[in-house]
């Protein structure tokens, strides 16, 4: 068993970043699907979760799908993105937000984050429309459960006649001015992936108030069958519908959304108070009038407390310095104690696959390749300040945020993090 100078014992049972929290009722609905033989992409569980989500989120229509990525793909397609079209997309996110734009032959142009929410900076979006006035679709992510500045973003979208897709995969249960996220744009997408706040093991949903969009999503998700006595196809479809078995798991989970959010909030608050004497900042959990679902607790190490850290495309190195640390050291230390953290999403414009795509900051500069994140200091190689998202990636990490982590286990995690600053 690993033991260090602080006599902190390793966790016998791994502490996860965010693992499924089951309640038992999931099995009842899975069993029901089995007993009634609706082991298919049709059935009562699917109807039930679509009704519940419409009621809880307040949207008129919802379509259960196999993944959040499938929902995002259909959202992009139904927004009319055609080959060659440029689409504005949050830069600091998981690749699943951007890839569906590429599936349709579109070109994502990445928009920098802001410090207030870590989400798309409305000032950068405004600049992006100055540079690319023809863009008609914006993909907005609510990162780690914290709502973006939706009013500002929506105003800019309506000024430019652009549709807004919300990637609310990480943010089910969060609200903006009293409205649940996922119901703020033209199309919303949520995920029931295994690490999300509500899970079916997999699964996703497309949310909309537009009947035609919902019907089209349903049709495209079931191989685009036409209304005919045989299999008739006039367009290309997909096998994207959710399974009634998986929907059974989601159905059993959904009544626990508020409970999961409050557990995640407690975890966040405990980190905030336990780490308050360290030179760190917790991730933003909302501007005025918005509430996060606290999906993942994250921190950034203050610049003056960062030891030298170098990252290539697949390796990270750091120089230990007394009184200083970096995300690499904290993640490696947590891992050595059998606890799982994770780096902040690496910004899309720094990804080899998207490196040549344009990227717009609030200064309006489209810097496609900065490589700034591999330098030790606060400036990029070009001497300009790092983009906001690059800086969050450089100095930030996601902390173990599992609902089932006990207070005692979390106190130990806090001690381990503190030890990195010694």
Contacting residues toward ligand PLP, per CB under 6 A = 67-69, 93-94, 96-97, 141, 167, 169-170, 191, 193, 204
Structure tokens at 302: 């203050």
If the CB atoms of residues 197 and 420 are measured against ligand PLP, the closer one turns out to be 197
| Residue whose CB is less far from ligand PLP, 94 or 110 | 94
Q: CA dist 315 to 157, 165, 169, 312, 374, Å? A: 39, 34, 28, 5, 11
Of 68 and 389, which has the nearer Cβ to ligand PLP?
68
Secondary element (H or E) of residue 249 = helix 244-253
Smallest gap from residue 196 Cβ to ligand PLP (A): 7
**C-alpha distances in angstroms, 356 versus 96, 122, 293, 350, 387?**
18, 23, 34, 9, 16
Polymer length of the chain: 422
| Residue 232 CB, nearest approach to ligand PLP (Å) | 30
- Of 63 and 326, the one with the shorter C-beta distance to ligand PLP is 63
The answer to whether residues 360 and 127 touch, using CB atoms and an 8 Å cutoff, is yes
CB 168 within 8 A of CB 190: yes
CA distance 409 to 47: 39
Q: What angle do CA 420, 19, 24 make, to 5 degrees?
A: 145
Residue identified by tokens 């690319």 is 132
Token pair 């809880």: residue: 56
Least distance to ligand PLP from the beta carbon of 347, Å?
A: 13
- Of all residues in the shown chain, the one whose CB is closest to ligand PLP is 68
Beta carbon nearer to ligand PLP, 113 or 325:
113
- Write down the least CB distance from residue 212 to ligand PLP, Å: 24
Min CB(416)–ligand PLP separation in Å: 26
Nearer to ligand PLP, 140 or 301 (CB): 140
Q: Least distance (Å) from ligand PLP to the CB of residue 95?
A: 8
Q: Please identify, using beta-carbon distances, which residue of 199 and 333 lies nearer to ligand PLP.
A: 199
The CB density around residue 28, as the number of other CB atoms within 10 Å, is 11
Q: Toward ligand PLP, which CB reaches closer, 343 or 385?
A: 343
CB of 238 to ligand PLP, least distance (A): 13
Smallest distance, ligand PLP to C-beta of residue 9, A: 33
Q: Minimum Å distance from CB 228 to ligand PLP?
A: 31
Neighbours of 21 (CB within 10 A): 16
**Considering beta carbons, is residue 125 or 189 the nearer one to ligand PLP?**
189
Sort 12 into a burial class: Cβ within 10 Å, 0-12 / 13-18 / 19+. Answer: exposed
Rounded CA gap, 135 and 18, in Å? 36
377 CB-contact burial (10 Å; exposed 0-12 / middle 13-18 / buried 19+): exposed
Q: How far apart are CA 233 and CA 21, in angstroms?
A: 41
């Amino acid at each position: 068993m690993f033991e260090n100078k602080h006599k902190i014992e390793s966790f016998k049972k791994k502490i996860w970043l965010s693992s499924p929290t089951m309640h038992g009722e999931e099995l009842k609905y899975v069993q029901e699907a089995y007993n009634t033989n609706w082991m298919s992409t049709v059935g009562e569980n699917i109807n039930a979760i679509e009704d519940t989500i419409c009621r809880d989120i307040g949207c008129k229509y919802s379509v259960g799908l196999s993944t959040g990525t499938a929902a995002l793909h259909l959202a992009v397609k139904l927004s009319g993105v055609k080959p060659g079209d440029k689409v504005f997309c949050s830069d600091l996110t998981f690749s699943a937000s951007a890839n569906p734009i590429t599936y349709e032959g579109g070109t994502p142009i990445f928009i920098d984050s802001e410090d207030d929410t870590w989400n798309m900076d409305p000032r950068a979006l405004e600049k992006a429309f100055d540079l690319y006035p023809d863009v008609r679709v914006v993909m907005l992510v609510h990162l780690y459960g914290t709502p973006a500045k939706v009013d500002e973003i929506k105003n800019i979208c309506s000024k430019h006649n652009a549709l807004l897709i919300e990637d609310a995969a990480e943010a089910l249960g969060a609200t903006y001015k009293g409205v649940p996220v996922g119901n703020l744009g033209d199309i919303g997408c949520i995920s029931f992936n295994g690490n999300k706040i509500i899970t079916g093991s997999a699964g996703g949903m497309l949310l909309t108030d537009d009947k035609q969009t919902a019907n089209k999503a349903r049709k495209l998700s079931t191989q685009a069958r036409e209304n005919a006595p045989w299999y008739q196809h006039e367009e290309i479809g997909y096998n994207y519908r959710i399974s009634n078995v998986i929907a059974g798991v989601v159905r059993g989970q959904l009544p626990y959304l508020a409970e999961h959010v409050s557990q995640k909030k407690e975890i966040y608050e405990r980190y905030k108070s336990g780490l308050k004497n360290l030179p760190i900042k917790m991730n933003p959990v909302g501007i005025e009038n918005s509430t996060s679902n606290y999906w993942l607790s994250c921190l950034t190490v203050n610049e003056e407390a960062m030891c030298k850290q170098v990252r290539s495309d697949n390796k990270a190195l750091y120089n230990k310095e007394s009184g200083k640390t970096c995300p690499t050291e904290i993640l490696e230390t947590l891992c050595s104690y059998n606890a799982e953290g994770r780096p902040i999403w690496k910004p899309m414009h720094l990804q080899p696959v998207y490196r040549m795509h344009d990227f717009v900051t609030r200064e309006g500069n489209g810097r496609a390749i900065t490589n700034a994140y591999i330098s030790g200091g606060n400036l990029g190689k070009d001497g300009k300040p790092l983009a906001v998202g690059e800086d969050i990636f450089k100095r930030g990490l996601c902390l173990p945020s599992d609902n089932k982590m006990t207070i005692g286990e979390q106190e130990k995690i806090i001690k381990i993090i503190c030890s990195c600053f010694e």
